[in-house]
């Protein structure tokens, strides 16, 4: 009988304690980030898909078409083409395709690039309904970014 009453009293008390905790949270500040309207500034180490780096000085990419990135990529997602042009010492990049559906974000291509022409982008808003939407033409993206 004593244990029965103690159970009831303790139970009721613990329920009340629980309720004081939730009401404190009710009046407490809201911590949600209202995502589409607000975003957190992206951290510098964030690894999105790779992107060509814009060379401020030359106003174009830094790639010398050495093919190192294409060869080192374990998933084989990089395809690139270049051509020799009159009056330019190195080859000029004409096409750079990244198949992001296969990329494992390992970063090997970024590491291996002798001219630091590659970097991770900060783009995380990637959505699409078709696989082909994730095959990027990075050269075109660079041109778009320049404007």
**Smallest separation, CB 40 to ligand SF4 (Å):** 24
**Smallest separation, CB 132 to ligand SF4 (Å):** 17
The answer to whether the CB of 104 falls within 8 A of the CB of 75 is: yes
Under the criterion CB under 6 A, does residue 64 sit at the interface with ligand SF4?
A: yes
Distance (Å, whole) CA 28 – CA 85 = 65
Nearer to other proteins, 21 or 116 (CB): 21
Under the criterion CB under 6 A, does residue 53 sit at the interface with ligand SF4?
A: no
Distance (Å, whole) CA 145 – CA 30 = 36
The answer to whether the CB of 53 falls within 8 A of the CB of 117 is: yes
In the structure encoding, which two tokens stand for residue 111, read together? Answer: 């590491």
The answer to whether the CB of 79 falls within 8 A of the CB of 70 is: yes
Nearer to ligand SF4, 109 or 142 (CB): 109
Distance (Å, whole) CA 29 – CA 25 = 8
Of 50-89, binders to other proteins (CB under 8 A) are none
Nearer to other proteins, 5 or 88 (CB): 5
Q: Give the residue among 95, 93, 97, 76 at the shortest CA–CA distance from 85.
A: 93
Of 9-28, binders to other proteins (CB under 8 A) are 12, 15, 18-19, 21-23, 25-28
Under the criterion CB under 6 A, does residue 139 sit at the interface with ligand SF4?
A: no
Residue with tokens 């401020």: 56
What are the residues binding ligand SF4 (CB under 6 A)? 50, 63-69, 72-75, 77-78, 80, 103-109, 112-115, 117-118
What are the residues binding other proteins (CB under 8 A)? 8, 12, 15, 18-19, 21-23, 25-32, 34
């Amino acid at each position: 009988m004593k244990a029965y009453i103690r159970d009831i009293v303790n139970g009721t008390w613990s329920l009340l304690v629980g309720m004081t905790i939730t009401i404190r949270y009710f009046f407490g500040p809201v911590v949600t980030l209202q995502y589409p309207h607000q975003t957190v500034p992206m951290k510098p180490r964030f690894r999105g898909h790779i992107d060509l780096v814009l060379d401020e000085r030359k106003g174009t990419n830094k790639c010398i078409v050495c093919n190192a990135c294409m060869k080192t990529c374990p998933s084989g997602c990089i395809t690139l083409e270049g051509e020799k042009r009159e009056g330019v010492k190195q080859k000029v990049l004409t096409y750079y395709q990244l198949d992001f559906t296969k990329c494992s974000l390992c970063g090997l291509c970024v590491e291996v690039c002798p001219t630091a022409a590659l970097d991770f982008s900060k783009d995380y808003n990637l959505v699409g309904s078709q696989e082909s939407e994730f095959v990027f033409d990075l050269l075109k993206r660079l041109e778009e970014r320049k404007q």
